[in-house]
Amino acid sequence: MIKISTTSKLDGIRSWSLQAIDTCPGSIASPGVLVDACKGCYATTGNYHYPNVKAPRISNREDWQRLEWCDDMVAALDSDRYFRWFDSGDVYTLALAEKMLEVMIRTPWCKHWLPTRMHKFPKFRMVFDQMRALDNVSVRFSSDSVIGEYIDGLHGSVIGPDASTFQARAGVSLCRAYEHNGTCSGCRACWDKSVDLIAYPAHGAKMAKVIRILKA
Ligand code: SF4
- Looking at the CA of residue 177, tell me the nearest atom of ligand 1: 7
pLDDT at 155: 96
C-alpha 190 to ligand 1 mean position (Å): 6
Beta bridge partner(s), residue 141:
116
DSSP code string of 100-134: HHHHHHT-TTSEEEEEESGGGSGGGHHHHHHHHTS
Atom 7 of ligand 1: nearest residue by CA position:
184
pLDDT at 164: 82
C-alpha 199 to ligand 1 mean position (Å): 9
pLDDT at 79 over 90: yes
C-alpha 158 to ligand 1 mean position (Å): 12
- Looking at the CA of residue 187, tell me the nearest atom of ligand 1: 2
- Looking at the CA of residue 174, tell me the nearest atom of ligand 1: 1
Q: How far apart are CA 90 and CA 69, in angstroms?
A: 17
Q: Which residues line ligand 1 (CB under 6 A)?
A: 175, 177, 184, 187-190, 198
Q: What does the pLDDT look like over 128-144, one tens digit per residue?
A: 999 999 999 999 999 99
pLDDT at 114 over 80: yes
Give first-to-last CA distance, the chain, whole Å. 47
In the three-class reduction of DSSP (H, G, I as helix; E, B as strand; rest coil), residue 80 is classed as coil
- Pair 115, 87: CB distance under 8 Å: no
Q: What does the pLDDT look like over 181-210, one tens digit per residue?
A: 889 999 999 999 999 999 998 866 656 666
Distances (CA, A) of 47 to 43, 70, 134, 192, 202: 8, 29, 34, 29, 19
Mean pLDDT value of segment 19-40 = 90
**Which among 153, 149, 132 has a CA at the least distance from the CA of 196?**
153
- Pair 123, 25: CB distance under 8 Å: no
pLDDT cut 90: percent of the chain above it: 70
